[in-house]
Amino acid sequence: MTNPGKKFAILALFMLSIAIIAGLLASISYLSPEFLKEKIGFSVLRPVHVSAVYFWISLSATAGVYSALWNNNMSSFTSKMSYFHFVLIAISALGILISYFFKNFGGREYWEYNPYWAIPVLISWVLFLINYLHSALKIKNWPVYYWMWFTGILFFIFIFIENYLWLIPSIRESFIKDLTIQWKVNGSIVGAYNQLIYATAFYLMDKITDNKAHQVGHKKIVFAMYFLGLANLMFNWSHHIYTLPSDMYVKYIGYLVSMTEWVLFLRTIFLWKKTIDEFKINAHYFPYRFLIASEFWVFINLFQALLMSIPAINAYTHGTHVTVAHAMGTTIGINTMILLAALYMFFDGKNDQDSHSHRRYLKNNFWFLQISLLFFFLSLDISGVLKGLWQMDKHALPFSDMMANLHPWFILMFISGCGLFISLGIYCYYLLSVLLKRITNYSI
């Protein structure tokens, strides 16, 4: 029985490739607003980019879950049903992206595809839950990552259904209700993804450690993070609606729980690092490095998120490129680093020290990726702060003058975006070549 996660990983990497291509083309629109305007334009490139990123995260996380189950004697039922799951999500992903090019929209922000595509997506996640439980329930005394995978899948289904409450006329006709649910969903869905992704990170830590005395799966601090993560998933969304009229207690709860799970995640990685010897670091070079990179980006994004959670600051940053910087920092810096670590761990099959010494350019590419992301992050943050100050200035310059002042930062954003395109593209190409068994000689 082959690893059913492989086909999800292949599709995930294709989605990541589409995401970075669409993202690069969209960034050109900031420098040249007329770029591809008549043929595609920013109105198409943005939803293509966003949807492809969503599918990259969900598909690669799914690949990790199936691979973990496969390593733990997955049931034949789960293996067979995974094909139906894959076919449904593949049809949905490709259909949604193609529909954008025909200008077939109809959804809400970040979910701009026609709502009928939500049906196969929802069915695929229900199948995922059934498949997961059929194999996972045979395992006694679940480690924390099994609980996190379970609640991540379950809450995604619930939140995804909630995302389409706007189809009910009484909600759609109320602007405040409609917008509140939209922003609530976009905050909560991140919590569901975090459950899946952080669970994968903890699973990788245990696999790299390979020492039951130092494994994190049953540690109290990690279970504390799990329950804190659940609290974040259910309540943290309220800091997304500071600017909407709502009860103050909702905003206070959101402020109190904002990003607290990241503190424990940082501590968990810090304690885990102390248990890893040099041999295991070299034996799992890329999984280890990507996990450590995610630790750095958790710290950076935690600091920014805490600032953004302060209502007085949120009034300036909401709807600016600061929000985009935070999204990119978490999506690329945290989520993508963990998911790349998982793909290397599950599918590379070349984790010995000698093979990595012959792939020096991939090691150099790791640092190229981190530096590119740092400059990309800074360019978005600075342009966002400048725009936020402009929005609150009673004697603000005309919009065209403000955009002209931001032009140097848009140039930096484009250049660093090119760096992200190249560095992520290299990893996509390498991992796809491994998965598709078309491996060339990577020695230098």
What is the tens place of the pLDDT at every residue in 179-207? Answer: 888 888 888 888 899 899 999 999 998 88
Return d(Cα 167, Cα 417) in angstroms, integer. Answer: 37
Q: Stretch 126-141: mean pLDDT, rounded? A: 93
Position 121 pLDDT exceeds 80: yes
Percent helix, percent strand, percent coil in the chain, to nearest 5: 80, 0, 20
Q: What is the pLDDT of residue 214?
A: 59
Q: What is the pLDDT of residue 1?
A: 66
Between 37 and 127, the more confident residue is 127
Q: Stretch 169-187: mean pLDDT, rounded? A: 86
**3-class state of residue 112 by DSSP:** strand
Indicate whether 43 belongs to any domain: no
Q: Which CATH number is 404's domain given? A: 1.20.210.10
Q: What is the pLDDT of residue 334?
A: 92
Between 4 and 351, the more confident residue is 4
Instruction: Report residue 57's pLDDT band, with 50, 70 and 90 as the boundaries.
Output: very high
pLDDT, mean over the chain: 84
Q: Which range, of 25-29, 265-269, 279-283, 404-408, averages the lowest pLDDT? A: 279-283
Position 75 pLDDT exceeds 50: yes
Q: What is the pLDDT of residue 332?
A: 95
Highest mean pLDDT out of 209-213, 218-222, 386-390: 386-390
Return d(Cα 180, Cα 174) in angstroms, integer. Answer: 10
Q: What is the pLDDT of residue 147?
A: 95
Percent of the chain exceeding pLDDT 90 equals: 46
Question: Do 233 and 253 touch, CB atoms closer than 8 A?
Answer: no
Q: What is the pLDDT of residue 275?
A: 54
Q: What is the pLDDT of residue 52?
A: 97
Between 355 and 135, the more confident residue is 135
Position 146 pLDDT exceeds 50: yes
Q: What is the pLDDT of residue 190?
A: 86
Q: What is the pLDDT of residue 438?
A: 45
Instruction: Report residue 351's pLDDT band, with 50, 70 and 90 as the boundaries.
Output: very low
Percent of the chain exceeding pLDDT 70 equals: 84
Return d(Cα 339, Cα 208) in angstroms, integer. Answer: 15
Per-residue DSSP letters for 5-16?
Answer: HHHHHHHHHHHH
Q: How many CB atoms lie within 10 A of CB 247?
A: 9
Q: Which range, of 61-65, 224-228, 285-289, 435-439, averages the lowest pLDDT? A: 435-439
Instruction: Report residue 352's pLDDT band, with 50, 70 and 90 as the boundaries.
Output: very low
Indicate whether 20 belongs to any domain: no
Q: Stretch 418-430: mean pLDDT, rounded? A: 95
Per-residue DSSP letters for 263-277?
Answer: HHHHHHHHHHHTT--
- Strand 111-113 and strand 105-108: the pairing is antiparallel
Burial of 430 (0-12, 13-18, 19+ CB in 10 A): buried
Position 165 pLDDT exceeds 70: yes
Work out how many domains the chain is built from and give that number: 1
Q: Which range, of 23-32, 115-124, 262-271, 319-328, averages the lowest pLDDT? A: 262-271
Indicate whether 72 belongs to any domain: no
Q: What is the domain range of residue 362?
A: 277-444
Give Cα 132 to chain centroid, integer Å: 21
Q: Which range, of 113-122, 267-276, 303-312, averages the lowest pLDDT? A: 267-276
Q: Which range, of 163-172, 200-209, 274-283, averages the lowest pLDDT? A: 274-283
Burial of 422 (0-12, 13-18, 19+ CB in 10 A): middle
Instruction: Report residue 280's pLDDT band, with 50, 70 and 90 as the boundaries.
Output: low
Q: What is the pLDDT of residue 441?
A: 41
Q: Stretch 110-116: mean pLDDT, rounded? A: 91
Indicate whether 117 belongs to any domain: no
Indicate whether 252 belongs to any domain: no
Indicate whether 59 belongs to any domain: no
Return d(Cα 206, Cα 201) in angstroms, integer. Answer: 9
Indicate whether 155 belongs to any domain: no
Q: What is the pLDDT of residue 390?
A: 86
Q: What is the pLDDT of residue 227?
A: 85
Indicate whether 260 belongs to any domain: no
Return d(Cα 147, Cα 228) in angstroms, integer. Answer: 13
